[in-house]
A and B are shown apart, each in its own frame.
Chain A
């Protein structure tokens, strides 16, 4: 008996794709409402189907999904798509395992919320149908990514999410900023994907396969696959210890693959696109740039985690270092930004870096590879509360028509629902119990402390910063000083139900998600275990968070000159943080000044003047020669004869000279 009807997973992928095509091709002929509800209904169906699938996976107890103890990987279908040679085949398939099942919950949930929310947020926008088409395309790609059975399928959908992200960031295509932001997002992630691609090439060349099931897991008796260190080890040993520039090729492959993840997940130094990506409509930011796509990098590392483990931990160390630096950097920058979406964007970067660090510090021998679980847990909870925050921010922007929080303040009176849900989001991200963020972040910190005290302390510091900037944001929006709203043609008010309903729903999830027994569901090798809160970590971190919140309250609750003074006191540092430590400028310098002006232009010049000039030069030489020999045809017959006789003699003499 098949454990699950393959039609359902197939529909999960096919439905959004169909919707995309329908909305894309017929959209212009539809009314806004029709298109919007079509999209919402489509996504609703996908939501139901994927919940069904995920719950079947987790709770049906079918022997294809679990051997009684461990959770197994199960391939629902796997269709050949492109064969390179006998073994190396790209397949399009559907892999069910703990993390993909978890993502099957996360993605449609957020996506559905965003679909619904957008009905209100995007109302009356030009290109409404297009917007829904792109949302469907994104959902399709993201779902395809997480259920990938092989690394190349992942790459395919990886590219597709990149493209749909590009299209959605550039939705307001008549705005310069939106266009350049979308371009930046695409190109930066593209650059990262180059690493990913080369990593895939290296990995697949040596292991001879793309399939996750052949890289990290071994087949079990009933057609499923279990994570197997032996398989991973054979993949590792197929490299035969080949090295390149002093490092093993295996490390290179993993680091390059991770580079793809760095791009998508906005790790330093490839993070620069994410803050700019906020140019897209806010629901898009919630869906793509907070909850789903940006965690693809984390997901990728989690997917290949058994391989990462084998690399003497050097690749994992790399992951940890990158994550830790990014987390801190983004948190610091978030403290200084004034655009609420940017604050949230940097907060996202920082939180994803948390997940990366969690993966980086995970070791199978420490609490059953607890970091892995914590990372996935945080991914889950973060998706919920960050989507909540973004959607809340969207509601605010919808109300005051500005991203800038200097245009906000005291909104708690006007927008109570938004206020409460936003507060829940802030509390969750700050790690205050019993909100979900507390649990997941606590697991991460525990894992970090288990790995080394340094990482633990470092991440605790970032957690404190998180609490601080989130509450800074919160106070600046909802308290602080109330600007003159009479300039608007109406007072700010709560959004229509299509927008508030998702907020309430996500807030509710954020409240309770922490109590999900994640350790039973998602672990690196499928072996369930029970999570115990480590109070020695939890209590100090709660205290730290509360202190940070208190500081924020002190500084930002009421309008006061303290923040300005702090800014002045920190001087250059504050300016640098405000300017995101000039990363954008550095990139601009490299791309425009160096690549454009020092590579592209010289090459174009070289092509036109040297290469093409040579070709034209041949013609020129021929013409010059033609002019040069013209006097030969002087018109004087004596001259002709002179040439004739000397030619004949020369012919004879030269030949004779060479012959004798």
Chain B
């Protein structure tokens, strides 16, 4: 079992949990967290390199590094792991954000030990989710990732934290209620497994069987899509996002917006569309409308917010909406773009939240009307903010651009009038994005200093610099060398693997 490299994505965090539990000082906690997440990052980088090598050598299996261990034999529940380029990209994203999040929580107070314990428990859920290809295991990890949010926001958050934490948890659990039903439904219509069992939770097997009756797909697809869509902040199930993000502590916002929301998009294509191609084709239009609304609606809402985190949360609604939107276009290019958008948005929004946290930590306000001219006071953070903003509004050379362009080009491939219309509507979001990003940049960073007291504030410390610089480098890396990532992702979206693309 431990010869499979993927298992270490769960094992390392578990060891980290133990290490942090045994830590006696803040320094030890930090070193465990940082060392562990560096290890995870290194592991995912190594796996990507190795994966590309295997693919280049002609390995055409849909998933590599497969491992299957029977768990609940009676229900044919297995602990199966396996990754393709998409999961690898997501693993890399998660480990980078965990790393930068650890740096961003360098001085977390109070209860640092508990904070990191929960944070890493959350990351176990995330990593586990991305490596699993067994629906049950996947779902289990999915829920593991959800619940630490409650405590992380509730204890270390700010503002109306108890309300927000509760709302977030309940809404996400509401989504997973639909999801659970859908998963059980899929299970009972999955068709036989290779080992002779009547039903299976194995994603690849279910997709290969393609045995879910069409009438059931009509029922199960919306369930699964809405279930994951809630986490993907799909309109109208997105309202947990602004409140939740606004109240969460920095690292949690980072991890949540950066990675956890990606679980939604990932699940949508990996479970809903992958397993139920028929319904995906038939019902895509409903969700296309919803996600199309998400895209512009989030952007318009962000235009009038005054709280930095709310702005970013609504912007996340818009950008994550674009992810789901692209997935629903059901063609290779758009879906590749969706994954790139996930990566891009993950990094970019983590950067945003990190910066907002750092600014908030200094000024103790997130209201843009009470701040101004920060460029003069904390140039490093301000420049980073501008870069994040530029990435968000899709400046070439940064990650947002390549992702959005891939999505738009891909979406336009779809000749359906509705899709076309919504593609053009979604395109409009790039203008609105520019509006709200520049509004913030103009008010917050530029202009005269609003508050005399702010003049005393200091610029970023070394750990904050590390955290933000890492993210910026990643954002720029995707933006400058998109083809590497596109090729990593595209393999999965071939008609041989994704029935819906036929």
Which residues of chain B are near A159, meaning CB under 8 Å? Answer: 394-396, 401
B442: contacting residue among A83, A152, A180, CB under 8 A:
A180
CA distance A187 to B428 in the complex (A): 12
* Closest chain B residue, CB of each to CB of A157: B396
In contact, B167 and A603 (Cβ under 8 angstroms): no
Beyond A201-B412, A596-B304, whether A179 also contacts B446 by CB under 8 A is yes
Q: Interface size (B, Cβ < 8 Å)?
A: 56
Bitwise, B167-192 to A at CB < 8 A (1) or not (0) is: 10011000000000000000000000
Which residues of chain A are near B390, meaning CB under 8 Å? Answer: 163
CA distance A614 to B237 in the complex (A): 10
In contact, B406 and A191 (Cβ under 8 angstroms): no
CA distance A179 to B443 in the complex (A): 9
Which one, B22-30, B40-48, B354-362, B430-438, is touching chain A?
Answer: B430-438
In contact, B438 and A187 (Cβ under 8 angstroms): yes
* Closest chain B residue, CB of each to CB of A602: B300
B431: contacting residue among A81, A182, A187, A599, CB under 8 A:
A187
In contact, B303 and A81 (Cβ under 8 angstroms): no
CA distance A187 to B408 in the complex (A): 20
Beyond A160-B395, A194-B427, whether A186 also contacts B434 by CB under 8 A is yes
Beyond A198-B424, A201-B409, A612-B239, whether A600 also contacts B482 by CB under 8 A is no
Which residues of chain A are near B300, meaning CB under 8 Å? Answer: 599-600, 603-604
Which residues of chain A are near B448, meaning CB under 8 Å? Answer: 174, 176
B76 interface contact, C-beta 8 A: no
* Closest chain A residue, CB of each to CB of B331: A85
- List which A111-130 residues lie within 8 A (CB) of chain B: none
B31 interface contact, C-beta 8 A: no
In contact, B431 and A191 (Cβ under 8 angstroms): yes
CA distance A204 to B408 in the complex (A): 12
In contact, B483 and A604 (Cβ under 8 angstroms): no
- List which A582-631 residues lie within 8 A (CB) of chain B: 596, 599-601, 603-604, 607, 611-612, 614-616, 619
CA distance A187 to B439 in the complex (A): 10
Beyond A159-B396, A173-B375, A615-B171, whether A84 also contacts B410 by CB under 8 A is yes
CA distance A166 to B408 in the complex (A): 24
CA distance A121 to B397 in the complex (A): 31
In contact, B395 and A163 (Cβ under 8 angstroms): yes
Which residues of chain B are near A157, meaning CB under 8 Å? Answer: 396
In contact, A160 and B446 (Cβ under 8 angstroms): no
CA distance A180 to B376 in the complex (A): 17
In contact, B431 and A190 (Cβ under 8 angstroms): yes
- List which B416-431 residues lie within 8 A (CB) of chain A: 423-424, 427-428, 430-431
B445 interface contact, C-beta 8 A: yes
Which residues of chain B are near A493, meaning CB under 8 Å? Answer: none
Bitwise, B234-245 to A at CB < 8 A (1) or not (0) is: 011011101100
A156 interface contact, C-beta 8 A: yes
Bitwise, B281-310 to A at CB < 8 A (1) or not (0) is: 000000000000000010011011100000
In contact, A186 and B413 (Cβ under 8 angstroms): no
In contact, B301 and A186 (Cβ under 8 angstroms): no
Bitwise, B386-418 to A at CB < 8 A (1) or not (0) is: 000010011111000110011011101100000
* Closest chain B residue, CB of each to CB of A156: B396
In contact, B376 and A82 (Cβ under 8 angstroms): no
Tell me the dominant secondary structure on chain B's binding face: helix
In contact, B487 and A83 (Cβ under 8 angstroms): yes
Which residues of chain B are near A178, meaning CB under 8 Å? Answer: 446
B102 interface contact, C-beta 8 A: no
Which residues of chain B are near A163, meaning CB under 8 Å? Answer: 390, 395
A155 to chain B, nearest CB (A): 8
B301: contacting residue among A88, A166, A197, A604, CB under 8 A:
A604
B147 to chain A, nearest CB (A): 19
In contact, B304 and A205 (Cβ under 8 angstroms): no
B447: contacting residue among A176, A603, A615, CB under 8 A:
A176
Bitwise, B217-231 to A at CB < 8 A (1) or not (0) is: 000000000000000
A580 to chain B, nearest CB (A): 22
* Closest chain A residue, CB of each to CB of B333: A84
Beyond A183-B439, A190-B430, A190-B431, whether A173 also contacts B395 by CB under 8 A is no
Bitwise, B446-477 to A at CB < 8 A (1) or not (0) is: 11100000000000000000000000000000
In contact, A80 and B446 (Cβ under 8 angstroms): no
CA distance A28 to B239 in the complex (A): 43
B326 interface contact, C-beta 8 A: no
A170 interface contact, C-beta 8 A: yes
In contact, A197 and B396 (Cβ under 8 angstroms): no
In contact, A187 and B236 (Cβ under 8 angstroms): no
In contact, A603 and B297 (Cβ under 8 angstroms): yes
In contact, B445 and A173 (Cβ under 8 angstroms): yes
Which residues of chain B are near A183, meaning CB under 8 Å? Answer: 438-439, 442
CA distance A175 to B372 in the complex (A): 11
A173: contacting residue among B397, B406, B446, CB under 8 A:
B446
CA distance A198 to B411 in the complex (A): 11
B373 interface contact, C-beta 8 A: yes
Which residues of chain B are near A190, meaning CB under 8 Å? Answer: 393, 430-431, 434
Bitwise, A14-37 to B at CB < 8 A (1) or not (0) is: 000000000000001000000000
The 9 lowest CB-CB distance pairs between A and B, nearest first, are A173-B446, A156-B396, A612-B239, A600-B303, A201-B412, A179-B446, A82-B482, A190-B434, A600-B304
Q: A156-B397, A179-B447, A182-B442 are in contact. List 14 more A-B contacts (CB 8 A).
A: A81-B482, A82-B405, A155-B396, A160-B397, A173-B375, A194-B428, A198-B427, A201-B408, A204-B409, A600-B301, A600-B303, A607-B301, A611-B236, A615-B240
- A-B pairs with beta carbons under 8 Å apart, 22 shown: A81-B483, A82-B483, A83-B483, A84-B406, A85-B332, A85-B333, A152-B405, A156-B401, A160-B397, A173-B445, A176-B448, A179-B447, A180-B442, A190-B430, A194-B427, A194-B431, A197-B430, A205-B412, A601-B304, A607-B301, A612-B243, A615-B239
A positions within 8 Å CB-CB of B: 28, 80-85, 88, 90, 152, 155-157, 159-160, 163, 166, 170, 173-176, 178-180, 182-183, 186-187, 190-191, 193-194, 197-198, 201-202, 204-205, 596, 599-601, 603-604, 607, 611-612, 614-616, 619
B positions within 8 Å CB-CB of A: 167, 170-171, 235-236, 238-240, 242-243, 297, 300-301, 303-305, 332-333, 373, 375-376, 379, 390, 393-397, 401-402, 405-406, 408-410, 412-413, 423-424, 427-428, 430-431, 434-435, 438-439, 442, 445-448, 482-483, 486-487
